[in-house]
Amino acid sequence: MVMLRRLFLLSVLFSMLFVPFASPTPVLFEFGGQVKVGDLNATAPTVLNLSAGRWPVELSVGNVTFIFNLSVGDAPLVVEVNGSLLNESLGGFSTATVFLGGRKVPTPESEETPCIPAPNWTAGEGVDSAMGPSKPVPMETVLFASCRVRDYLLLPSGLPVVAEYAGVKKYCLVKISASEGGWSSYGGCSRRPIGSAVVPLPVRILSRPANATVYVNDFHLFGEWFTPMRLYLPFTSELSSYNVSLGANGYPFVSGVVVSAGGNITLHADLSALSRAVSVHPEAGTLKVSTRPSNASLAIFAGNRKVFSGRSPLRLALPAGTYTVSASLAGYGGVVKNVTVPANGSVSLNLTLSPLPAELNVATVPPGAEVRVGNRTCTSPCSLNLTAGVYNVSASLRGYLPNSTLVLLSPGDLRNISLRLVRRPILRILTSPAGATVTVGEKRCVTPCNISLIPGNYSVTVEKEGYEKVFLMVSLHVGDVTMVNVSLRERLPLTSSSETASHETTGTVPRSVGGDWEPVLAVLALLIVAALFIKIRRGG
């Protein structure tokens, strides 16, 4: 019974179950290659959820395929292939299939026959021959030497072959008739040359342990074909490959394809090592995954196959090994991490998801305004990547009133806003004569001039040396161009050094205090004082 190495239990889902049911068992195939289990095909490393039972399994690693039966119960399993052990234990085959369960094969002891000396290759014109494979064409086996030397030549029917063994070259051509009722051949080998003869390639077949039973194209020569042995195989365009199999009772059975390599070929199979190339181990661990923020969508992969999906936080029992964990949440950037789950231990994975930047596109009417968002500025139309939050977006343009708005940006948002700017009111002032100083609040200009202001009511002062000061009240509205034409009046000259003439005009209405009445008032005051003095004296 195969032992488990990695445990894969969906504990989150199990906690939600109210009635028992037969849950599939996770089986982790931890190697690089292809997996076929029943009708399921996958690329390893991968996890397959299998129901309990006995499953036919094929594992393909490079040019080698392992075939065996896997018993699945309630406990999760892990299947591994030892690549380095495989490379050391098998070689010379173009492709090979290893049947880990082995096959029942004959042994040298079960096929032992008396050694009867027979004509060998080096003696005269004759050869010792026996039956050979029947496909793809009937063949005859030539025994180069008798009594278990185990050097052989295959002669396909109708194919001229020239072979050299022990320094003797012979040309062979046989015609074989094979049927269900029997097998017969005529022809043979001699030193007489044959045109267009094919030179066979020597194929050395070795195994550990020795005396493994050898088959060529599903044919085994009774009492003869056991390792170590050497087989001379002729290759042609029609006969481009041979299937060579070998096995021993209690060991894996190997069946592989041999193609021409242009020289000597050595096939070797360490059957003992091959029996250990595929293993299952009882190791399991626990994976804990948390995210910030929580409730992120999680996916766990073994190789390129998803083995679990859920939401954080989670706690899972998994077969020991390396996994890829992916976390995602709307408005946040995804995170992918590799984690190794230890055997008989636990590992915690804490993932922090970063908010996706929000994209803010700002347009203004008219364009070309300076846009300010927090400490970021740009010229409209423009685009800014910002973190989530509330922002005051303002736009300003010379000659226009500024405009602003509040914008709430969520992670990953794409927001488009447009700010309409309106022209500032303009106060245009003309004076006669020109050159007067105009003061509006903190703004000043010399006529003729224009002052750009925000809408509202303003007090305007116009003054020029030698002219009366003028005060005006104006009301300005959005987009207005208000023109004011002021005629200045000259100041009257002074009448004495102690008297000052003052003239002020508000709007177009002049206001003045006349200096001509002051002498008259002074005389009247003196007369009143004198009269009071005389009256007092008389009364006295």
Q: In what order do the strands lie in the sheet with 201-208?
A: 90-91, 265-270, 201-208, 229-233, 151-156, 139-143, 128-131
Query: Are the beta carbons of 90 and 268 closer than 8 angstroms?
Result: yes
Residues 6+ apart with CB under 8 A from 389: 408, 409
- Residue whose tokens read 């069946």: 255
**Sequence-separated contacts (24+) of 335-340 with Cβ below 8 Å:** 335/291, 339/287
Delimiting residues of CATH 2.60.40.1120 domain(s) in the chain: 358-420, 426-493+502-512
Q: Which CATH number fits domain 6-102: 3.40.1130, 2.60.40, 2.40.160, 3.30.2010?
A: 2.60.40
DSSP letters of 71-92?
EE-SS-EEEEE-HHHHHHHEES
Backbone torsions φ then ψ of 148, nearest 5 degrees: 65, 30
* CA 445 – CA 149 distance, rounded (Å): 124
What is the structure's pLDDT at 535?
A: 63
Q: Which residues of the chain have pLDDT under 70?
A: 1-22, 116-118, 125-126, 181, 281-284, 494-526, 529-531, 533-540
Q: Which CATH superfamily is domain 426-493+502-512 in?
A: Carboxypeptidase-like, regulatory domain (2.60.40.1120)
- Name the DSSP class of 413: -
- Name the DSSP class of 520: H
Q: Which of 441, 462, 461 is nearest to 452 (CA)?
A: 441
Q: Which CATH number fits domain 284-352: 2.60.40.3080, 3.30.565.10, 1.10.443.10, 2.60.40.10?
A: 2.60.40.10
**Residue 538, both tokens:** 């008389």
Assigned CATH topology for domain 358-420: Immunoglobulin-like (2.60.40)
* CA 230 – CA 269 distance, rounded (Å): 14
Read off the amino acid at residue 490: E
Q: Is 371 left (phi over 0), alpha (psi -120 to 50) or beta?
A: beta
What is the structure's pLDDT at 11?
A: 31
Residues 6+ apart with CB under 8 A from 144: 120, 121, 151, 152, 153, 165, 166
pTM (global) more than 0.75? no
What is the structure's pLDDT at 517?
A: 44
Task: Specify burial of residue 480 (Cβ count, 10 A radius: 0-12, 13-18, 19+).
Answer: middle
Query: Are the beta carbons of 134 and 128 closer than 8 angstroms?
Result: no
* CA 506 – CA 469 distance, rounded (Å): 8
Q: Which of 468, 473, 460, 462 is nearest to 510 (CA)?
A: 468
Delimiting residues of CATH 2.60.40.10 domain(s) in the chain: 284-352
Residues 6+ apart with CB under 8 A from 421: 364, 365, 366, 369, 395, 396, 397, 400, 401, 402, 403
